[in-house]
């Protein structure tokens, strides 16, 4: 997966669609939460198509879509 890819992920409200906007390989903060990331275990910042909200997810939480 790479920046710009269209993906979907599960939330408490159901499935959300959006795109990857950043690939993080170092610890970072997003929405007042601290996230751990490394080269071996990267995190992806995704942006919802519907709301524009951003969230961080591990690669296995994201599904590629066309």
SS3 of residue 20 by DSSP: strand
Residue 66's pLDDT is what? 75
Residue 56's pLDDT is what? 97
Q: Which of 2, 58, 11 is nearest to 48 (CA)?
A: 11
- Show pLDDT as tens, one digit a residue, over the chain (66 residues): 999 999 999 998 899 999 999 999 999 999 999 999 999 999 999 999 999 999 999 999 999 997
SS3 of residue 59 by DSSP: helix
Q: Phi/psi of residue 52, each to 5°?
A: 80, 0
CA pair distance 4, 18, nearest whole angstrom = 9
């Amino acid at each position: 997966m790479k920046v710009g890819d269209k993906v979907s992920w599960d939330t408490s409200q159901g499935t959300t669609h959006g795109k990857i906007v950043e690939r993080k390989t170092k610890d970072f903060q997003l929405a007042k939460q601290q996230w751990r990331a490394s080269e071996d275990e990267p995190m992806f910042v995704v942006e919802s198509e519907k709301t524009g909200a951003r969230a961080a997810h591990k690669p296995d939480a994201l599904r590629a879509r066309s």
